[in-house]
């Protein structure tokens, strides 16, 4: 546990002890006294997540591959071809290229769409760092945009205001499996003649207006890292309809495939070398991801059902609400279930206090990760890399890109900044009993309803 969270826990405990004294607060809600003040836990029966990303079937295939000495596939055949075909089919795109990480797919996308020194790429301020750092690797400048506080997805109006003659691309992140307003982004991208890239790392199987995420933009990028809904341990996959973009991504990091693998012959003399990077995935990872892809529909159904339970149980509870979805959108992947905690409705508690009280009730709640990068600063644009870190020693285009970025630091981000005191996170429940999800939701409601009557927590 970090020093900060230890202190927080200590303070929460001290306050809990105070709260146990009725005269010092700790008023019982209609659901009974809070467990953190010695009341009965709301979630009496813990549930174990029974969903497994890897099954014996895939392990058997890995074993078979290993015993045949098939430990690498450099020409993009075998499981790589199978996976790419299936993934492109799911997204409804012509092409897919499987790589060794989601970060590699984003780097390839920025490279393929021609982003380079002097260019700007608009990317949300609320996301994992890897949506933005590959922009620096091509020498371009990230421009952080605000997000819609209800859905956490890039705000199209703000994105459009940030467009300048230097803008080369927009990256929309379907964070926590929640699709952005892709019709609006497509319209903006086409009118301003800039590339549209989707970071759909959290969202395989999600769609907007019936069309799969990843297929709206010029390139769609997905992480297949261990925690993701489709996991190859460490892998990623990019999809596109454009043969030129396909060839350019292939040429960046797939030696062995560039000669005969290009679909448009974009780089005639390239033969089988690449532009110097190696983004080929491990064949075992792709075998694991193939199994996960086959079972993605089932996983998404389970997670959607559980998310609906949270929504039903927390309807009309202003203190805590699952993050909203646009009417035209269907979620997929999820990664985590994210909820919006409103301190004003909860006696001005801090979200850390709310998390401590919910944990005491037996809910596996935690503080959201993307609003506490490094535990010391909050949003990505505030992290030392984008603010104070010494960049002189950095070679390549990265140092120059960071220096350029610092000349025009992040714009005002009023909605995104609000999230820092509000977002909390649950595991993306899949194969757990629905009653357990219901109990967790009821426990959250219990804490939210009791909070205004508990004054001790205000100092936490």
Ligand X SMILES: Cc1ncc(COP(=O)(O)O)c(C=O)c1O
Given the rule CB under 6 A, which residues bind ligand X?
A: 101-103, 127-128, 130-131, 173, 199, 201-202, 223, 225, 236
Residue number with CB closer to ligand X (125 or 314): 125
Q: Give the whole-angstrom CA distance, residue 424 versus residue 327.
A: 23
Closest distance between ligand X and the C-beta of residue 389, in Å?
21
End-to-end CA distance of the chain: 18
Q: Which residue is nearest to ligand X (CB)?
A: 102
Closest distance between ligand X and the C-beta of residue 427, in Å?
15
Q: Which of 396, 424, 75, 421 is nearest to 250 (CA)?
A: 75
H helices of 295-385, in order, are 296-314, 351-360
Residue number with CB closer to ligand X (132 or 258): 132
Distances (CA, A) of 368 to 288, 418, 427: 28, 13, 11
Residue number with CB closer to ligand X (153 or 188): 153
Closest distance between ligand X and the C-beta of residue 172, in Å?
11
- DSSP 8-state class, residue 108: H
CB count within 10 Å of CB 328 equals 14
Residue number with CB closer to ligand X (201 or 255): 201
Question: What number of residues does the chain have?
Answer: 460
What b/e string do you get for 408-437 counting C-beta neighbours within 10 Å, with b at 16 or more? eebeebebbbebbebbbbbbbbbebeeebb
Residue number with CB closer to ligand X (223 or 240): 223
Closest distance between ligand X and the C-beta of residue 207, in Å?
18
Closest distance between ligand X and the C-beta of residue 129, in Å?
8
Q: Give the whole-angstrom CA distance, residue 430 versus residue 205.
A: 15
Residue number with CB closer to ligand X (113 or 201): 201
Closest distance between ligand X and the C-beta of residue 361, in Å?
28
Give the strand pairing for 167-173 and 423-427: unpaired
Residue number with CB closer to ligand X (113 or 131): 131
- DSSP 8-state class, residue 424: E
Closest distance between ligand X and the C-beta of residue 283, in Å?
17
- DSSP 8-state class, residue 49: -
Q: 289: burial class by Cβ within 10 Å (0-12, 13-18, 19+)?
A: buried
Residue number with CB closer to ligand X (19 or 253): 253
Closest distance between ligand X and the C-beta of residue 215, in Å?
18
């Amino acid at each position: 546990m970090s020093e900060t969270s230890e202190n927080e826990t200590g303070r929460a405990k001290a306050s809990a002890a105070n709260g146990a004294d009725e005269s010092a607060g700790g008023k019982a809600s209609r659901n009974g006294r809070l467990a953190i003040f010695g009341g009965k836990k709301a979630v009496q029966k813990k549930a174990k997540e029974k969903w497994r990303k890897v099954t014996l079937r895939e392990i058997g295939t890995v074993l078979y591959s290993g015993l045949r000495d098939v430990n690498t596939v450099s020409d993009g055949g075998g499981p790589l071809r199978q996976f790419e075909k299936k993934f492109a089919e799911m997204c409804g795109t012509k092409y897919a290229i499987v790589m060794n990480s989601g970060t590699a797919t984003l780097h390839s996308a920025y490279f393929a769409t021609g982003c380079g020194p002097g260019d700007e790429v608009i990317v949300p301020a609320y996301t994992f760092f890897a949506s933005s750092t590959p922009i620096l690797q091509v020498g371009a400048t990230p421009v952080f945009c605000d997000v819609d506080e209800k859905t956490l997805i890039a705000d199209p109006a703000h994105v459009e205001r940030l467009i300048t003659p230097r803008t080369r691309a927009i990256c929309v992140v379907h964070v926590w499996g929640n699709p952005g307003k892709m019709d609006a982004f497509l319209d903006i991208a086409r009118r301003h003649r800039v590339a549209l890239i989707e970071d759909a790392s959290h969202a395989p199987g999600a769609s907007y207006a019936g069309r799969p995420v990843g297929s709206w933009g010029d390139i769609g990028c997905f992480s297949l890292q261990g925690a993701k809904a489709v996991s190859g341990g460490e892998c990623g996959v990019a999809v596109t309809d454009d043969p030129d973009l396909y060839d350019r991504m292939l040429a960046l990091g797939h030696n062995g495939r560039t000669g005969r693998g290009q679909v448009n012959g974009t780089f005639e003399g390239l033969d089988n070398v690449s532009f110097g990077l190696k983004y080929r995935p491990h064949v075992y990872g792709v075998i694991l991801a193939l199994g996960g892809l086959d079972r993605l529909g089932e996983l998404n159904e389970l997670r959607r059902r559980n998310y609906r339970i949270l929504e039903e149980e927390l309807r009309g509870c202003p203190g805590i609400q699952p993050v909203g979805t646009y009417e035209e959108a269907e979620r997929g992947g999820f990664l985590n279930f994210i909820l919006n905690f409103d301190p004003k409705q909860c006696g001005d508690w801090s979200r850390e206090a709310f998390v401590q009280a919910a944990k005491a009730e037996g809910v596996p709640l935690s503080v959201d990760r993307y609003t506490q990068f490094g535990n010391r600063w909050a949003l990505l644009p505030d992290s030392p890399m984008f603010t104070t870190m010494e960049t002189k020693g950095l070679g390549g285009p990265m140092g120059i890109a960071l220096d350029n970025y610092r000349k025009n630091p992040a714009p005002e981000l009023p909605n995104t900044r609000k999230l820092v005191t509000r977002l909390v996170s649950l595991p993306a429940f899949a194969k757990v009993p629905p009653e357990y999800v219901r109990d967790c939701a009821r426990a959250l409601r219990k804490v939210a309803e009791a909070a205004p009557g508990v004054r001790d927590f205000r100092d936490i």
